[in-house]
Amino acid sequence: MADTLLSLSGLTKAYPGVVANDDVSFDIREGEIHALLGENGAGKSTLVKMIYGLVKPDKGAMVFRGAPYAPAEPRAARASGVAMVFQHFSLFDALDVAENVALGMENPPPARDLAQQIREVSETYGLPLDPSRTVGTLSAGERQRVEIIRCLLQDPKLLIMDEPTSVLTPQEVEILFETLRKLKSEGTAILYISHKLEEIRSLCDHATVLRLGKNVGTCTPSETTARAMAEMMIGSTFATPAAKATTPGDVLLRVDNLTMPAPGSFGTPLRSISFELRAGEVLGFGGVAGNGQDELLLALSGERLAEKGTIWVKGADVSRDGPTARRAAGCLTAPEERLGHAAAPNMSLTENVILTAGRRENLVNNGFINWGRADQFAADVIKRFDVRTPGTHVAARALSGGNLQKFVIGREVAQNPDVLVVNQPTWGVDAAAAAAIRQALLDLAEKGAAILVVSQDLDELMEIADRFGALNEGRLSALKPVKDLDLEEIGLMMGGAHDMEVAHVAE
Amino acid sequence: MIRLEKRPQPSKMWIYMTPVLAVLLTMLFGGIMFMVIGTSPIEAIRTIFWDPLFHPQFAAFSRPQLLVKAGPLILIAIGLSIGFRAGIWNIGAEGQYIIGAICGAGVGLALYPMESALILPLMIIAGALGGWAWAMIPAILKVKFGTNEILVSLMLVYVAENILASVSSGVLRNPEGMGFPGSRNLAQWSSSQNLELFAGSGMHLGVLTAFIAVILAYVLLTRHIQGYNIRLTGEAPRAARFAGVSPARTVLFCLGLAGVLAGMAGLFEVTGPAGQITIDFGSGYGFTAIIVAFLGRLHPVGILLAGLLMALTYIGGELAQLMLGVPGASIQLFQGMLLFFLLGVDVLTNFRIRVGKAEVAA
């Protein structure tokens, strides 16, 4: 089983102004789980896109099982036995599982045979899934299973997985890992892309680390510390956020029995959510995506108005106030989606600070915008939060994900809010930038702000939060101090088994 | 192989160059069209673009027409562009223009034959309110019931045209007009006439208002938070909501503003160049202004230039029909080409064309 499955040699791909991959060479062996590590913008996506036939390399060659391999398109890659599960699912909510699987196949068998095949594969690999369910009703973990099964039906030799665990509960991660190990034992190689170093350590046989498009080394993850791998990725050492030691002060944000209908046909209603958030405290809300996180953010930001008497900032009822009045009251928010929600893609960074800071930073007087001050404020945010950009005139869409995230969070932190609510503050952000963002949040809490972090990254919540709660189908679990929790308990909270009752699992 | 490659940022140069390129392409392909129908392309293009301004014989008549035609186009297009910037598609400016003219003229005619310097200002206000009210119909329906403003505003044009037909042979008909449809001539009544401010320039109050609207729109969009909110709504609606911009208020503001400006344009037209409310008062300015708004890249200064260019092709087109005998349809085709190329080459603002295989950047 030690034969080379896919050998990459000297792969180079350049885009205008940036070399995404520079002379990258490494081998993936038959039946191994090979990790691909790297910061955002290190060239991981470009590399796997070349393997999957989405992008053509400028230079270099690939050899698949001894034969030259140069897929012109994904179809050719799939025909050779390469399959890929993307980070963002390409599924149709309104269709059922079998229909979605059929859409991704070249020659789908008749519906009944396909449903049977889906059942067989799902049983063989321990991925419970009912072919007749509508995808819109599935959880993120189940949706991922649809994607995986779609790949497995093609009997791949190499399965590429792009950040597969970012949307899963710890229990779902375990199920996924069991599946991957089973696949490996049957001889399927897996190229596994992730930021989560502990996962890679427990799962992967080898790891290749990319930095700025170059292969900077390989390691055996089980024998390397997470910190050492992280430092390989960023090429220097970085500071872990220092835990703070402040005692909670007054209640700054109080949510009292907040109930809201779902915003759309696939949204989640909020069901009697109540909590208090004190000055100096960091509260962490975990939960699998789609369990009310976005809806809670919309309710707290004022984009959707709640019922009277449900949301209180510093003792004042702001439930019926819109975003501008909430900001004036000291409650700032940073939504998950950076482009299009937290920032306008085609507008410059200077224009983008006016989006939320216009009033608090006196960037607007009598309705007229003070562009000088706005530009100055944008420059301050860029400097203070180390946003890598040529200047404030650059359009938001030109920034990399991590840099834009630093800008978006920095824009709110720099306004010295009393209450800051952030959703997925480090989603898709590299380790160094994530550490910087977390540190900024902790510093803000130390100065007496109350902070609510909604995140699917449990490690992040464990690292910075004082108390933890989980959102499940729009309900909030009981809040528990983080230091008293272990991963299993968290997993059960996320699954909806509040107060440690035994989970009732359907089917 | 020709490929399109997305630019990291919109190209500043091409924002300004695409309209020029589009005009040149229109001249080229329009010239080919004229050649095919047996007219000298050089002569046709000279007649359309050059003669209206510099022909020794016709220019004295056609040069003032440039501002007369461009004024309402610019005024209406400015209003429309503010809405288009926010993604609010008011296609019914023609109806707002007609209703503005009817309301303004109605107020004036109700006071006939009184003589007062206050009558024209009153008529302007009535015209603006008429256009505003007509635009509020799609606005309120959209805000309250989520109807599509494109359909509602467009359909209301036809309603407005029927109202126009009705009043011009009904309540507003000139009692001394010997039974002919059409109102009294407002341009000949000293209290309501909207005369040229400078003789022979074509510059009447409406043109002046259009120029002021250009300046105010520029200030609104570049300096004022309301303009920022409008641009934000168009660029990223969810970000606008996050910023605290009320979508309903934006719809009411944008449609209302477009209605006010279109209504005023109608009033200035009926008290000046047109002179009276007649069945064929609606001249298509409200529709052409949509083209002008896009031709000007939804930018106030661009719209100013586009309005002048559009007016030029109108006057030149008429001149070409008159002097060269080209069919009217060929002129419409020529104008259509202009819009087509404008939208087509706009791709260069956000994309660059690469010829050949993908190259390695340094």
Which has the closest alpha carbon to B354: A205, A15, A123, A380?
Answer: A15
For residue B13, give the amino acid letter. M
Calculate the average pLDDT of chain B. Answer: 91
Which CATH number belongs to the domain containing residue A176 in this structure?
3.40.50.300
Q: How confident is the model at residue A503 (pLDDT cuts 50, 70, 90)?
A: very low
Token representation of residue B43? 């002569």
CA angle B353, B358, B362 (to 5 degrees): 100
The mean pLDDT value for B283-298 works out to 90
* Nearest CA-CA distance, residue A302 and chain B, Å: 8
Q: CA A146, CA A131: separation in Å to the nearest integer?
A: 9
Instruction: Strand A59-64: give its sheet, edge to edge.
Output: A18-29, A4-15, A59-64, A67-69
pLDDT of residue A414: 95
Distance CA A491, CA A219 (A): 30
Question: Is A219 found in the same domain as A135?
Answer: yes
CA dist A262 and A407 (Å) reads: 30
- For B352, nearest residue in chain A (alpha carbons): A16
Predicted TM-score (pTM) of this structure: 0.77
Work out whether strand A419-423 and strand A331-334 pair parallel, antiparallel, or are unpaired.
parallel
Helices B285-295 and B328-345 pack at an angle, to 10 degrees, of 30
Cβ contacts of B241 on chain A, cutoff 8 Å: 303, 323
- Distance in angstroms (rounded) separating the CA atoms of residues A440 and A420: 12
Assess whether A58 and A91 both reside in one domain: yes
Q: Give chain A positions within 8 Å (CB) of B231.
A: 347
Tokens at residue A297, please?
Answer: 């953010």
CA–CA distance, A425 with A173 (Å, rounded to integer): 21
DSSP H/E element including A286: strand A282-286
Name every chain B residue with its beta carbon within 8 A of the beta carbon of A302: 244
Residues A222 and A263 grouped into a single domain: no
pLDDT in tens, A242-280: 555 567 789 999 999 999 998 876 778 999 999 999 999
Do the Cβ atoms of A355 and B224 come within 8 Å? Answer: no
User: Domain for residue A436, yes or no?
Assistant: yes
Compare all CA atoms of chain A with the CA of B232 and give the residue at the minimum distance: A344
Q: Do B232 and A16 touch (CB under 8 A)?
A: no
- For residues A438 and A405, the answer to whether their CB atoms sit within 8 Å is no
- CB contacts < 8 A, A to B, total 89
How far, in Å, CA of B33 to CA of B327, rounded?
12
Please state the length of chain A. 507
Q: Are residues A150 and A35 in the same domain?
A: yes
Cβ pair A368:B243 closer than 8 A: no
pLDDT value at residue B32: 94
**Domain extents in chain B:** 65-296
Q: What is the pLDDT of residues A111-125, one digit of tens each?
A: 888 888 888 888 888
Rounded to an integer, what distance in angstroms lies between the CA atom of residue A43 and that of residue A54?
14
Tell me whether B8 touches chain A (CB under 8 Å): yes
By C-alpha distance, which of A299, A222, A284, A301 is closest to A457?
A: A284
Mean pLDDT, to the nearest integer, of B334-362? 75
B197 secondary structure, DSSP code: S
For chain A, give the mean pLDDT.
86
pLDDT digits (tens, 9 = 90+) for A275-312: 999 999 999 998 877 788 999 999 999 999 999 999 99
Answer yes or no: is pLDDT of A9 > 60: yes
Say if the Cβ atoms of A346 and B232 lie within 8 Å.
Answer: no
What pLDDT, on the 0 to 100 scale, is given for residue A413? Answer: 95
pLDDT at A450 over 70: yes
Closest chain B CA to residue A328: B244
Q: Which tokens is B38 given?
A: 């047996």
B3: three-class secondary structure by DSSP = strand
Q: Dihedral of CA B219/B222/B226/B227: which sign?
A: positive
Secondary structure class of A69 (helix, strand, coil): strand
Nearest CA in chain B to A374: B223
The predicted pLDDT at position A491 comes to 72
- Nearest C-alpha in B relative to A56: B358
Nearest CB to B9 within list A14, A367, A395: A395
Spatial CA neighbour of A257 closest among A37, A499, A476, A6: A476
Of A300-304, B1-5, B247-251, B332-336, which range is least confident? B1-5
CB within 8 A of B234, min separation 6: which ones? B84, B85, B86, B87
Instruction: For residues A135 and A124, give the distance between their C-alpha atoms in angstroms, rounded to a whole number.
Output: 21
Q: What DSSP state is assigned to residue A503? A: P
Name the residue with higher pLDDT: A471 or B10.
A471
B361/A contact by beta carbon, under 8 A: yes
Q: B140 and B255 in contact (C-beta within 8 Å)?
A: no
Could you tell me if residue A225 is inside a domain? yes
> Which residues in A lie closer than 8 A to residue B232 (C-beta atoms)?
344, 347, 355
What was the pLDDT predicted at B336?
Answer: 87
Most confident of A22-31, A38-47, B15-24, B253-262: B253-262
**Cβ-Cβ contacts under 8 Å for B193 (sequence gap 6 or more):** B120, B186, B187, B271, B272
* A59 contact B CB<8A: yes
Tokens of B136: 């509020």
Contact state of A368 with B224 under an 8 Å Cβ cutoff: yes
Give residue-wise pLDDT tens across range B156-187: 999 999 999 999 999 999 988 888 888 999 98
User: Does B61 or B99 have the greater pLDDT score?
Assistant: B99
- The H or E element that residue B267 is part of is helix B247-271
Domains identified in chain A, total number: 2
Contact yes or no for B244 and A344 at CB 8 A: no
In 3D space, the residue among A97, A85, A76, A73 whose CA is nearest the CA of residue A152 turns out to be: A85
Q: Which residues of A touch B223 (CB under 8 A)?
A: 368-369, 371
Q: Distance between CA atoms of B34 and B56, rounded to whole angstroms?
A: 24
Whether pLDDT at B145 is above 90 = yes
Residues of B in contact with A364 (CB under 8 A): 225
Helix, strand or coil, per DSSP, at residue A274:
strand
Q: CA-CA distance, A221 to B154, in Å (whole number)?
A: 65
CA dihedral sign, ordered B85, B88, B93, B99: negative
Helices (H) and strands (E) in chain B, counts: 15, 2
Q: Is A291 helix (H, G, I), strand (E, B) or coil?
A: coil
Residue A239 has a pLDDT of 60
**B259 and B132 in contact (C-beta within 8 Å)?**
yes
CA distance A16 to B217: 37
Residue B239 to residue A341, Cβ atoms within 8 A? yes
Q: Does A340 touch chain B (CB under 8 A)?
A: yes
Name A303's Cβ contacts closer than 8 Å, sequence gap at least 6.
A322, A323, B241, B242
pLDDT of residue B161: 96
How many residues are listed for chain B in this entry? 362
Say yes or no to pLDDT of A15 above 80: no
DSSP label of B231: H
- Mutation test of the interface with chain A: which of B85, B242, B350, choosing the one with the most A Cβ atoms within 10 A? B242
Touching B: A residues 320-339, CB under 8 Å = 322-325, 327, 333, 335, 337, 339
Asked if B360 and A59 come within 8 Å (Cβ–Cβ), the reply is yes
| Mean predicted confidence (pLDDT) in B230-246 | 94
**Residue B224 to residue A367, Cβ atoms within 8 A:** yes
Cα–Cα distance, B163 to B266 (Å, whole number): 14
What confidence tier does B124 reach under pLDDT thresholds 50, 70, 90?
A: very high
Distance in Å, alpha carbon of B220 to nearest chain A alpha carbon = 9
Record the tokens describing residue A216, joined without a space.
Answer: 């900077």
On the question of pLDDT at A505 being above 50, the answer is no
pLDDT digits (tens, 9 = 90+) for B25-59: 999 999 999 999 998 999 999 998 898 888 888 88
**Listed residue (B102, B267, B259) closest to B173, CA to CA:** B102
What's CA B168's distance to the chain center, in Å? 24
Please report whether residue A353 resides in a domain.
no
Residue B335's contacts (CB-CB under 8 Å, 6 or more residues apart) are: B291, B310, B313, B317
**Distance between CA A31 and CA A1 in Å, rounded?**
6
Establish if A272 belongs to a structural domain: yes
Check CB contact under 8 Å for A301 and B228. no
The answer to whether residues B295 and B313 touch, using CB atoms and an 8 Å cutoff, is no
Hey, are the CB atoms on B361 and A367 less than 8 Å from each other? no
Over the stretch B16-32, which tens digit does the pLDDT of each residue have?
888 889 889 999 999 99
Claim to verify: residue A319 and residue A427 sit in the same structural domain? yes
CB contact under 8 A, A340 and B236: yes
CB B262, CB B131: distance < 8 Å: yes
Do residue A343 and residue B239 have CB atoms under 8 angstroms apart?
Answer: yes
Residue A95 lies in a domain: yes
Query: Nearest C-alpha of chain B: how many angstroms from A436?
Result: 25
- pLDDT tens digits, residue range B86-115? 999 999 999 999 999 999 999 999 998 889
Query: Which of A276-290, B78-92, B240-254 comes out lowest in average pLDDT?
Result: A276-290
> Is B242–A351 a contact, with Cβ atoms under 8 angstroms apart?
no
ipTM over 0.90: no
In this structure, are A159 and A124 located in the same domain? yes
Q: Confirm if B214 and B304 have CB atoms less than 8 A apart.
A: yes
Question: Once rounded to an integer, what is the mean pLDDT over residues A439-445?
Answer: 93
Residue B268: pLDDT band with limits 50, 70, 90: very high
Q: How confident is the model at residue B143 (pLDDT cuts 50, 70, 90)?
A: very high
Q: Is A193 in a helix, a strand, or coil?
A: strand
Q: How many C-beta neighbours within 10 Å does residue A289 have?
A: 17
Q: Is residue A244 part of a domain?
A: no
- What does the pLDDT look like over A468-502, one tens digit per residue? 999 988 899 989 888 888 767 777 777 665 443 33
Are A315 and A449 found together in one domain?
yes
- The mean per-residue pLDDT over the stretch A171-192 comes to 89
**DSSP class of residue A280?**
T
Residue A120 CA to its chain's centroid (Å)? 31
Residue B323 has pLDDT above 80, yes or no: yes
Residues A230 and A262 in one domain: no
Could you tell me if A224 and A257 lie in one domain? no
Nearest to B284 by CA among B298, B303, B269: B269
CA angle centred on A197, ends A282 and A232, rounded to 5°:
110
Q: Which domain holds residue A292?
A: 251-338+417-500
Q: Are residues A87 and A182 in the same domain?
A: yes
pLDDT of res. B356 = 65
Averaged pLDDT for residues A73-92: 86
Question: Per-residue pLDDT tens for A324-376?
Answer: 999 999 999 999 888 899 999 999 999 999 999 998 999 999 999 999 999 99
Q: How many CB atoms lie within 10 A of CB A483?
A: 9
- DSSP codes, A102-157: HHT-SSPPPHHHHHHHHHHHHHHTT----TTSBGGGS-HHHHHHHHHHHHHTT--S
More confident residue, A90 or B276: B276
Question: What is the distance between the alpha carbons of residues B265 and B94, in angstroms, rounded to a whole number?
Answer: 10
Percent of chain A topping pLDDT 90: 40
Q: What are phi and psi of A492, to 5 degrees?
A: -65, -40
Task: Give the whole-angstrom CA distance, residue A301 versus residue A294.
Answer: 10
User: Is A52 in the same domain as A201?
Assistant: yes
Residue B120 pLDDT: 95
DSSP structural state of residue A8 = E
Please give the span between the terminal C-alpha atoms of chain A, in angstroms, as a whole number: 38
Of residues B122 and A136, more confidence is placed in B122
User: Are B242 and A323 a contacting pair at CB < 8 A?
Assistant: yes
